[in-house]
C-alpha cells in the first residue's frame, strides 16, 4: 500500500524518535508476557471451575480459554486489511495507535474485577479486548518504522524495539512475581488480590510508557486521504493474493507457514494451561517455565540465525519444525514435571527462531521488482492470525470432545508434519528479494 508522500516533516534516523518508537515495545510487551503467557492463564485456571455450563453447553476451562483466544484473533484477522489501509494509505497511525493502546490497557485494568465464575463474562470480554488492543496497536506501531528510519537502519532499530520489549516485560514480570510469591512483603494477605494487582500494573505500565512514544513519534499528517480506506485495504489483499498465486515457491511457503504457525503459536499460548491442567503445576512452577521460555528463546534466535547463514533458510526451518514435532510427541507422552521442564527449554529454543526465520524467508521470496512490500506483509499477517484462530480453536475442540489436552497436542504435531512436508519443496533461488 502506498504511503502519503507529504505531511511528515521529521528527519530520518533521529535518535530521540527511534528511542520513542522502541519504548512502545517496552510498554506493550508487558501485556504479551505478563497477561498472555505468564500470569493470566494460571489465574484463569485457578478461579474457573474445571467443568461448567457455558451458553447452554458443557465446557472445560482449558477449552474455553482456547476458544476465547480464537475469537479475539478472528476479529483481529478480519480487521487487519482495514487497519493496514488506514496505516499506509490514510496515515492515521498515531490516532489509532492511541485508540488501541487505550483500549488494551483499560481492558487489563478492568481484569482486576475478574474474580471467578460470577464474573466470568467480564473476564472473557476484557481478555478479548486486551488481545485486540495489543494486536491492532502493533499494526500502527510497526507501520511507523519505515517512515522514521532509512532502509539501511531498519534491522538495527527493529532489533532495538525487540530488546526494549524483552527487558521491560521481564522487569515487570519479576516485580509481579515478587508481589504474588511474597505478598506479605507488600502488606497483602490475599494471594488472589496480589495476582489481580498484576493486571493493574500491566495496564498502567502499558498506557504510561506509551506516552513516551506518543510524544516523540511524528504526528499524523493533515493532508492524508480519508476516503475509501476500508475498500483500499481489501483491494490490496486481493491484489497480493492474485500475485502470490503466480509464484509457486511463495504459495507453497505460505501454505506451510499456515500449518506450522497454527501449531507453534498454539503451543506458546497454551503451554502453561497444559502444564497446570495435565501435570498439575503450581503457579510458582509455571512461572519458572515462562522464564525458561524467555531466556532460552534469546539463545535459540541467535543459534538459528547462525545456522541459516551457513545452511540456508529452508534447511534451518526444517530443523526447527523437526524439533517442534519432537516437542509435541514428548508433550503427549510426558508424565513428570521434571521432563516437562526439559520440553519447555526446547520450546524456548525454537519459539523465537520459527518466527524470525519465517519472516526473513518470506522477505527473500518476494519478487525482486516489488517496490512496496507492505501489502505482501499485510497478507502474511492476516494468514498468521488465521493460523492462530485455526490452531487454538482446534486445540480447544479436541480438548473438549476428548476430555483432555494430550490429544490436542497430537493434533498440533500433525500441523507441524504437514507444514514440514509442504516446506520441503520450497526453493529459495526463485523470486528472491535483495538480502
Q: Which three cell numbers stand for residue 329?
A: 510427541
- Both 191 and 241 in one domain: the answer is no
Tally of structural domains, the chain:
2
- Both 263 and 211 in one domain: the answer is no
What is residue 92's predicted lDDT score, i.e. its pLDDT? 78
- Both 251 and 223 in one domain: the answer is no
Which pTM does this prediction carry? 0.82
Asked if residue 339 belongs to a domain, the reply is yes
What is residue 6's predicted lDDT score, i.e. its pLDDT? 44
Q: Who contacts 413 (Cβ-Cβ below 8 Å, separation ≥6)?
A: 263, 325, 328, 329, 332
Residue ending a domain, among 174, 203, 227, is 227
Measured CA to CA, the distance from residue 83 to residue 89 in angstroms comes to: 10
> Which residues form the domain of 40?
12-227
Q: What residue ranges of the chain have pLDDT lower than 50?
A: 1-6, 430-435
CATH, residue 182: 1.20.1250.20
Percent helix / strand / coil, the chain, rounded to 5? 80, 0, 20
Q: What are phi and psi of 50, to 5 degrees?
A: -65, -40
User: Which of 47, 78, 52, 74 minimizes the C-alpha distance to 64?
Assistant: 52
- Both 209 and 262 in one domain: the answer is no
Contact 414, 394 (CB under 8 A): no
What is residue 372's predicted lDDT score, i.e. its pLDDT? 53
Amino acid at each position: 500500500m502506498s504511503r502519503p508522500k507529504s505531511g511528515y516533516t521529521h528527519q530520518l534516523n533521529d535518535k530521540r524518535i527511534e528511542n520513542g518508537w522502541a519504548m512502545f515495545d517496552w510498554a506493550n510487551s508487558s501485556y504479551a508476557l505478563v497477561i498472555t503467557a505468564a500470569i493470566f492463564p494460571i489465574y484463569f485456571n485457578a478461579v474457573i471451575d474445571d467443568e461448567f455450563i457455558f451458553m447452554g453447553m458443557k465446557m472445560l476451562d482449558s477449552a474455553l480459554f482456547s476458544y476465547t483466544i480464537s475469537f479475539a484473533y478472528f476479529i483481529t484477522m478480519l480487521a487487519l486489511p482495514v487497519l493496514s489501509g488506514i496505516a499506509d494509505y490514510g496515515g492515521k497511525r498515531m490516532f489509532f495507535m492511541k485508540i488501541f493502546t487505550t483500549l488494551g490497557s483499560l481492558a487489563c485494568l478492568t481484569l482486576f474485577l475478574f474474580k471467578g465464575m460470577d464474573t466470568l463474562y467480564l473476564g472473557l470480554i476484557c481478555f478479548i479486548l486486551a488481545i485486540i488492543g495489543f494486536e491492532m496497536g502493533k499494526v500502527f506501531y510497526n507501520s511507523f518504522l519505515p517512515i522514521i528510519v532509512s532502509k539501511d537502519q531498519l534491522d538495527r532499530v527493529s532489533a532495538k524495539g525487540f530488546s526494549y520489549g524483552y527487558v521491560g516485560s521481564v522487569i515487570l514480570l519479576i516485580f509481579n512475581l515478587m508481589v504474588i510469591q511474597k505478598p506479605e512483603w507488600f502488606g497483602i494477605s490475599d494471594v488472589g488480590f496480589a495476582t489481580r494487582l498484576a493486571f493493574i500494573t500491566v495496564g498502567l505500565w502499558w498506557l504510561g510508557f506509551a506516552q513516551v512514544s506518543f510524544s516523540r513519534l511524528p504526528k499524523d499528517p493533515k493532508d492524508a486521504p480519508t476516503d475509501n480506506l476500508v475498500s483500499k485495504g481489501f483491494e490490496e489483499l486481493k491484489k497480493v493474493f492474485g500475485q502470490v498465486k503466480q509464484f509457486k515457491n511463495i504459495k507453497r511457503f505460505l501454505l506451510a507457514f499456515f500449518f506450522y504457525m497454527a501449531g507453534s503459536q498454539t503451543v506458546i499460548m497454551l503451554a502453561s494451561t497444559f502444564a497446570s491442567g495435565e501435570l498439575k503445576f503450581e503457579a510458582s512452577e509455571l512461572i519458572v517455565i515462562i522464564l525458561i521460555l524467555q531466556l532460552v528463546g534469546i539463545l535459540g534466535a541467535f543459534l538459528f540465525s547462525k545456522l541459516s547463514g551457513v545452511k540456508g533458510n529452508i534447511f534451518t526451518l526444517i530443523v526447527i519444525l523437526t524439533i517442534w514435532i519432537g516437542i509435541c510427541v514428548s508433550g503427549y507422552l510426558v508424565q513428570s514435571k521434571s521432563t516437562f521442564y526439559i520440553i519447555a527449554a526446547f520450546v524456548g529454543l525454537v519459539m523465537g527462531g520459527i518466527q524470525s526465520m519465517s519472516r526473513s524467508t518470506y522477505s527473500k521470496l518476494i519478487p525482486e521488482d516489488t517496490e512496496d512490500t507492505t501489502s505482501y506483509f499485510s497478507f502474511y499477517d492476516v494468514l498468521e492470525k488465521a493460523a492462530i484462530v485455526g490452531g487454538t480453536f482446534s486445540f480447544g475442540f479436541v480438548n473438549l470432545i476428548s476430555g483432555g489436552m494430550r490429544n490436542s497436542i497430537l493434533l498440533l504435531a500433525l500441523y507441524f508434519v504437514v507444514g514440514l512436508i509442504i516446506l520441503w519443496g520450497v526453493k529459495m533461488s526463485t523470486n528472491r528479494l535483495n538480502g
